[in-house]
Amino acid sequence: MSRIVLVFLAAILSDALSYGQVNVEPNTALLNEGDRTELLCRYGRAINYCRIEIPGEQKVLNLSPVWSKTPGFTYYGAGLNAGQCGVSIEHVKASNNGQVKCSLGVEGEELSGTIDLVVALRPKQPMIELITKPNRDGYFSENTEFHARCIVRDGRPPANISWYIDNMPANKNTNQLQILSTPTHDNVELSTSVQEIKWHLAPEDSNRKLVCRSHHQTDRESVPAQEAAYIIMVRYAPVSQPEASVYGLYLEHTAIVNITIRASPPPTIEWNVAGVVIPQGRTEGRYSAYDPQYLGNDLYNVTLAIGGLTLEDTTKVYQLRASNEIGIADYSVRISSSSKPPSSSLDVAAIVGIVVAIAVLLLIVLLVLFARATGRWCFGGATLNTDLGPDSEAQIHPETHEELDGQDNADEHIDTTPQSEEVTPPVTDKLEAQKKADLKKSAAATAAAVIAAGNGQQHGADAPKPPNTSV
Ligand SMILES: *[C@@H]1O[C@H](CO)[C@@H](O)[C@H](O)[C@H]1NC(C)=O
Ligand SMILES: *[C@@H]1O[C@H](CO)[C@@H](O)[C@H](O)[C@H]1NC(C)=O
Ligand SMILES: *[C@@H]1O[C@H](CO)[C@@H](O)[C@H](O)[C@H]1NC(C)=O
């Protein structure tokens, strides 16, 4: 219903303009050069003649299904009697761009309609224009605003623009796409698309590739979107980072203490080990500071070699100061002879071990309670003397644990396995002691034996490694 009303309204409107209702199909035809197209004008009643004017063509076409006078342009439609006046264009030319006008001879009058024929023209290669300029060497300073525009000239229809940084859509401040008309000498209207982008530069932006890509009607798989690129270069002070750790160093060997730092321009470095200053490229005693080694992308491998690593060396903090023309940053590195970071040694396996240990203890508590409730006589033979054995063991246990930890510090990273046989995680130790105090009242030698068996099992099955606390 509403559709009919709309058509009716449209009819009234077009009546007001042309005093006749010529429907056109399509209203706008967007084509590439060389495309074939059909354009149609329709009137409700039979028409006497059908004339069509196409921009860029010398002749006005007088078309009918019965004749075809101009090669490449033929009548299109269901016939003049059906009120249809259309043209089929074999190959659209760039010069055909503009308004196609159809004139329909009807009952002593002439009615007309127009169709916009847009023949796409590929725009020029995009261009990136810097609005804020870099310094003479082509560098921007950190925190300055990078402001540029992308210009895609002379497209028809206008090209769209999208931005990328290192092939990822640039999630930055862009303004609305501006489209400017650029009339050419032969009155062919073309459009220039312009878009600006801006953001504050961070060290990470250095060496990134900013790309402006134009998207156009004429893009094809064989004719991909055109783009312009600009490599952004930023100068900044060495970038600070949290304390670094180097693991797996061997005592008595030459140790390499390394840290990767980011800076532009290249940094000059200086190590400081407990007051001993080792400038870049120099050796002080057992310490040798290498020149920063460029890894690409503004990253530098900074290395200190320590000859014959001692245990004391592993307790020191290695301070590094890196500086360039822009500023200074201080870093610190800790080293360890253990092969893994401490945090990762208390991993899933250890947690599972603790959980299993708790479960075993709970089971024993339940067993003992059950035994006490049902058959007290079972424990009748126990004396206080037999209790001392397991109880004293529980007191000694935590101490041996600490001792072993201390030993672990002293050891090279290789042998941690033998210790794990003896050491139980502290949590189970406590529970065990509590449990045993509980048991004292019943003074059950047999129960103690069960605990011992349970512990043995637990060590054998899970052997949770102690947290590796070496320096
Ligand atoms: C350009 O953008 C407009 C609006 O987002 C969209 O309708 C049109 O299809 C785009 N053109 C091209 C060639 O990507
Ligand atoms: C030291 O260098 C190694 C590779 O040679 C690297 O895996 C490690 O991450 C570096 N350490 C630091 C703290 O940068
Ligand atoms: C850093 O330099 C040291 C010493 O030259 C080298 O052993 C190490 O592999 C380097 N690390 C990286 C990540 O290049």
The 10s digit of each residue's pLDDT in 308-331 is: 999 999 999 999 999 999 999 999
Q: Which of 260, 318, 332 to mutate to test the pocket of ligand 2 (most atoms within 8 A of CB)?
A: 260
Contact 152, 163 (CB under 8 A): no
Which CATH number applies to 244-335? 2.60.40.10
End-to-end CA distance of the chain: 84
Q: Which of 172, 153, 154, 176 is nearest to 163 (CA)?
A: 172
Helix (H, G, I), strand (E, B) or coil at 404: helix
Average pLDDT over residues 205-228: 94
Instruction: Write out the CATH class of domain 127-235.
Output: mainly beta
pLDDT at 9: 52
Average pLDDT over residues 22-26: 95
State residue 45 phi and psi, 5-degree precision.
Answer: -125, 175
Contact 81, 46 (CB under 8 A): yes
pLDDT at 389: 44
pLDDT at 417: 41
- The tokens for 442 are 């019943």
Confidence check: pLDDT of 421 > 50: no
Atom of ligand 3 nearest to the CA of 305: 4
Residues of the chain with CATH 2.60.40.10: 21-119, 127-235, 244-335
Atom of ligand 1 nearest to the CA of 219: 13
Average pLDDT over residues 330-353: 78
Q: How far is the CA of 159 from the centre of ligand 1 (A)?
A: 8
Q: Residue 260: CB within 6 Å of ligand 2?
A: yes
Average pLDDT over residues 416-444: 47
78-81 contacts, C-beta under 8 A, 24 or more apart: 80/46, 80/47, 80/48, 80/49, 80/50, 81/46
Half-sphere exposure of 126 (CA within 13 A, CB side): 29
pLDDT at 338: 86
Helix (H, G, I), strand (E, B) or coil at 323: strand
pLDDT band at 342 (very low <50, low <70, confident <90, very high): low
Q: Which of 246, 258, 269, 291 to mutate to test the pocket of ligand 3 (most atoms within 8 A of CB)?
A: 258
Q: Residue 372: CB within 6 Å of ligand 1?
A: no
The owner of tokens 């637990």 is 458
Contact 62, 69 (CB under 8 A): yes
Average pLDDT over residues 196-220: 95
The beta-strand segments (E) located in 9-125 are: 23-25, 28-32, 37-42, 49-53, 61-62, 73-76, 84-89, 98-106, 109-120
> Nearest bound ligand to CA 195?
1
Average pLDDT over residues 421-429: 46
> Nearest bound ligand to CA 246?
2
pLDDT at 189: 79
* Rounded Cα distance, 161 and 153, in Å: 11
Q: Residue 160: CB within 6 Å of ligand 1?
A: yes
Q: Residue 446: CB within 6 Å of ligand 1?
A: no
Average pLDDT over residues 428-456: 47
H or E segment at 145?
strand 145-155
Contact 51, 60 (CB under 8 A): yes
Q: How far is the CA of 91 from the centre of ligand 1 (A)?
A: 25
The beta-strand segments (E) located in 15-55 are: 23-25, 28-32, 37-42, 49-53
**Lowest mean pLDDT segment, chosen from 53-57, 310-314, 450-454:** 450-454
What rounded mean pLDDT belongs to the chain? 81
Average pLDDT over residues 220-245: 94
* Rounded Cα distance, 4 and 8, in Å: 6
* Rounded Cα distance, 308 and 312, in Å: 11
> Nearest bound ligand to CA 301?
3
H or E segment at 181?
strand 178-183
Q: Residue 246: CB within 6 Å of ligand 2?
A: yes
Average pLDDT over residues 228-233: 96
Confidence check: pLDDT of 247 > 80: yes
Q: Which of 231, 286, 293, 226 is nearest to 261 (CA)?
A: 293
Confidence check: pLDDT of 156 > 70: yes
Q: Residue 280: CB within 6 Å of ligand 2?
A: no
Q: Which of 258, 271, 299, 339 to mutate to test the pocket of ligand 2 (most atoms within 8 A of CB)?
A: 258
Q: Residue 394: CB within 6 Å of ligand 2?
A: no
- The tokens for 275 are 């007051």
pLDDT at 8: 56
pTM of the model: 0.61
> Nearest bound ligand to CA 217?
1
Atom of ligand 1 nearest to the CA of 217: 13
Which residue minimizes the CA distance to atom 5 of ligand 1? 160
Q: Which of 114, 115, 127, 117 is nearest to 154 (CA)?
A: 127
- The tokens for 327 are 């500023």
Confidence check: pLDDT of 335 > 60: yes
Higher pLDDT, 100 or 428: 100
Q: Residue 272: CB within 6 Å of ligand 2?
A: no
* Rounded Cα distance, 435 and 15, in Å: 101
Q: The domain 21-119 belongs to what CATH superfamily?
A: Immunoglobulins (2.60.40.10)
> Nearest bound ligand to CA 290?
3
pLDDT at 412: 42
| Region class of 210: left (phi > 0), else alpha (psi between -120 and 50), else beta | beta
Q: How far is the CA of 160 from the centre of ligand 1 (A)?
A: 6
Which residue minimizes the CA distance to atom 3 of ligand 1? 160
Q: Which of 121, 156, 160, 215 to mutate to test the pocket of ligand 1 (most atoms within 8 A of CB)?
A: 160
The beta-strand segments (E) located in 281-417 are: 283-284, 287-289, 293-296, 299-306, 317-323, 328-335
Average pLDDT over residues 425-450: 47
Helix (H, G, I), strand (E, B) or coil at 161: strand
Q: Residue 443: CB within 6 Å of ligand 2?
A: no
Atom of ligand 2 nearest to the CA of 303: 1
pLDDT at 187: 59
375 Cβ partners below 8 Å, 6+ apart?
none
Q: Which of 162, 215, 216 to mutate to test the pocket of ligand 1 (most atoms within 8 A of CB)?
A: 215
The owner of tokens 């530069």 is 201
